[in-house]
């Protein structure tokens, strides 16, 4: 057994332990969990609760297969990491570059994701010309920037972080160029300007260290109440939620609720949970509990519209670069394998990565073995023969039966299809993954009698030799009615 396979097994055990720990910790899970089998992906489970589950993504990562496959399969909201920030969009006065942001919007559209625009007004990542602008020109520069950018993306973004991180820790406003030029008036002015440019977008103030009740969140609360009293088009508050493992504020839910009670949407916008490296098993389990706690807090507040993670996987997280010695902050490891936090998050959303939904997306579970159809090691190599393996919720076990009768895995740019190798139509033909090409050897009927038949060959998807062992290869075989040809999708 390879190391990775061994890790898969360990992972599976962890997942079970985490779910069990959560059941024990919450006691009355049945009473608080939304309808069972709400989905086997983050987005399906979130949508079943009327929420979205998002991630930040950079344009430079659009070509990274494993990462984009996870995004396409699991997330239904996208926040461009840096591509809509001022230094990228308006590097010289009045000269705009929407190219990188447009690419991400296009990716989001192609994958049915909403976009959170991030951001319009922030002291960081400002181009030099803007930082050095005479104060009497700042207002017009800010209004022009907002008008141009929110106008460009009009109708394409669900929400804008119009104002990013305006507060210091003590609740005073950051004395950035905007504040120095306009005082606190810049906040209302920015929101009004954005609303004029894109009346359909929800307009947010987004900040960090405001997740619990403290001086900073109190100041934001007062500001929000006063802006609303003046009729300023503030629509929501973004709680970034860059946590340290084990330190999710216990009053997160109550704090979200007080903002929601003002008539605002609230959202967790940049969730991650950093761990001192190397991450111990215990820390990863605490992280799983932390992610679940955040999800439960959001679900408990009806105006909490969704949760977004900051970065898809540990390899693309900002944490190691900014907090040396820390990392492992996301739900996916460096190789895009789901960590315990993934299963805990899915479970907190009422979803399940262990099947039972009967839908068109989920695990393809072999009835005889109680195991899953699996792409070995999450391989993206065309021609990799699929196999039976213990179900563990990985993206290499999540299949979608499409309207075109494909059984696809991964999604996004990395999407691959279940394929009868070499267009074989004889018993013993290997069943492999191959880039989806629409041919008949990639079409499958998922039948009411539990069989999965190849449209071209008429043969059944079969576990070789009736084996129930991890690693048993899948092939085409004459339909026999035996349990090694019985599958459930969902």
Binding footprint of ligand G3I on the chain (CB under 6 A): 81-82, 124-125, 164, 240, 270, 318
Q: How far is the CB of 284 from ligand G3I (least distance, A)?
A: 22
C-alpha span between 440 and 455 (Å, rounded): 6
Q: Which of 83, 90, 165, 240 is catalytic?
A: 165
* CA atoms in the 13 A half-sphere facing the CB of 293: 23
Q: How far is the CB of 180 from ligand G3I (least distance, A)?
A: 20
Q: Could you give the 3-state DSSP secondary structure of residue 300? A: coil
C-alpha span between 196 and 190 (Å, rounded): 10
β-sheet bridge partners, residue 461: 476
Q: Where are the beta strands (DSSP E) in 224-264?
A: 236-239, 242-244
**Which of 96/318 has CB closer to ligand G3I?**
318
Q: How far is the CB of 208 from ligand G3I (least distance, A)?
A: 6
User: What are 249-254's contacts with CB under 8 Å, separation 24+?
Assistant: 249/211, 249/212, 249/213, 250/212, 251/212, 251/213, 252/211, 252/212, 252/293, 252/294, 252/297, 253/296, 253/297, 253/300, 253/301, 254/213
Q: How far is the CB of 319 from ligand G3I (least distance, A)?
A: 9
Tell me the CA distances in angstroms from 5 to 12, 344, 392, one per residue in order. Answer: 11, 21, 11
To the query of whether residue 270 is one of the catalytic residues in this protein, the response is yes
**Which of 209/286 has CB closer to ligand G3I?**
209
Contact (Cβ atoms closer than 8 angstroms) between residue 199 and residue 247: no
The helix (run of H) or strand (run of E) holding residue 27 is: none
Q: Which of 47, 143, 240, 270 is catalytic?
A: 270
Q: How far is the CB of 56 from ligand G3I (least distance, A)?
A: 7
**Which of 309/400 has CB closer to ligand G3I?**
309
To the query of whether residue 211 is one of the catalytic residues in this protein, the response is no
Please name the residues in contact with 164: beta carbons below 8 A apart, sequence gap of 6 or more: 118, 119, 120, 121, 122, 124, 205, 206, 207
**Which of 81/330 has CB closer to ligand G3I?**
81
CA-wise closest residue to 342 among 312, 299, 301: 312
**Which of 86/107 has CB closer to ligand G3I?**
86
Closest residue to ligand G3I, judged by C-beta, is 318
Q: How far is the CB of 240 from ligand G3I (least distance, A)?
A: 5
**Which of 75/444 has CB closer to ligand G3I?**
75
Q: What are phi and psi of 44, to 5 degrees?
A: -65, -40
Contact (Cβ atoms closer than 8 angstroms) between residue 360 and residue 374: no
Task: Just list the catalytic residues.
Answer: 165, 270
């Amino acid at each position: 057994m390879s190391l990775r396979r061994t890790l898969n097994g360990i992972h599976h055990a962890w997942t079970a332990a985490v779910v069990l720990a959560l059941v024990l910790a919450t006691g009355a899970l049945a009473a608080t969990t939304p309808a069972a089998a709400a989905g086997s992906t983050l987005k399906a489970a979130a949508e079943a609760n009327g929420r979205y589950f998002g991630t930040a993504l950079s344009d430079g990562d659009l070509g990274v297969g494993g990462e984009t496959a996870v995004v396409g399969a699991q997330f239904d909201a996208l926040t461009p990491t840096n591509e809509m920030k001022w230094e990228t969009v308006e590097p010289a006065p009045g000269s705009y570059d929407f190219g990188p942001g447009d690419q991400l919007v296009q990716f989001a559209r192609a994958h049915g994701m909403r976009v959170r625009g991030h951001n319009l007004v922030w002291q960081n990542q400002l181009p030099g010309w803007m930082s050095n602008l005479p104060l009497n020109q700042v207002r017009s520069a800010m209004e022009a920037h907002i008008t141009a950018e929110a106008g460009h993306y009009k109708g394409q973004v669900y929400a804008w972080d119009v104002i990013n991180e305006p507060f210091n820790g003590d609740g005073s406003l950051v004395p950035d160029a905007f504040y120095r030029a306009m005082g606190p008036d810049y906040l209302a002015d920015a929101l009004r300007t954005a609303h004029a440019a894109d009346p359909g977008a929800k307009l947010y103030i987004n900040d960090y260290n405001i997740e619990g009740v403290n001086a900073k969140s109190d100041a934001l609360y007062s500001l929000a109440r006063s802006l609303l009293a003046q009729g300023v088009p503030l629509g929501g508050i973004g709680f970034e939620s860059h946590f340290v493992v084990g330190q999710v504020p216990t009053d997160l839910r109550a704090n979200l609720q007080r903002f929601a009670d003002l008539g605002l949407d609230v959202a967790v916008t940049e969730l991650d949970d950093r761990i001192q490296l190397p991450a111990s098993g215990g820390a990863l389990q605490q992280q799983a509990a932390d992610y679940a706690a955040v999800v439960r807090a959001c679900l408990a507040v009806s105006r909490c519209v969704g949760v977004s993670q900051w970065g898809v996987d540990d390899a693309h997280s900002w944490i190691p670069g900014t907090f040396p010695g820390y990392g492992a902050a996301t739900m996916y490891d460096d190789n895009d394998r789901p960590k315990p936090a993934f299963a805990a998050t899915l479970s907190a959303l009422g979803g399940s990565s262990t099947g039972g939904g009967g839908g068109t997306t989920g695990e393809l579970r072999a009835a005889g073995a109680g195991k899953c159809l699996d792409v070995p090691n999450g391989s993206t190599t065309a021609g990799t023969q699929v196999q039976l393996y213990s179900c563990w919720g990985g993206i290499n076990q999540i299949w979608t039966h499409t309207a075109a009768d494909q059984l696809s895995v991964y999604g996004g740019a990395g999407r691959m299809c279940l394929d009868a190798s070499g267009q074989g139509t004889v018993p013993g033909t290997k069943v492999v993954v191959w880039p989806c090409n629409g041919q008949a050897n990639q079409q499958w009927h998922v039948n009411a009698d539990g069989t999965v038949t190849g449209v071209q060959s008429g043969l059944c998807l079969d576990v070789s030799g009736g084996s129930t062992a991890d690693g048993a290869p899948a092939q085409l075989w004459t339909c026999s009615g035996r349990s090694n040809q019985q599958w459930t999708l969902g």
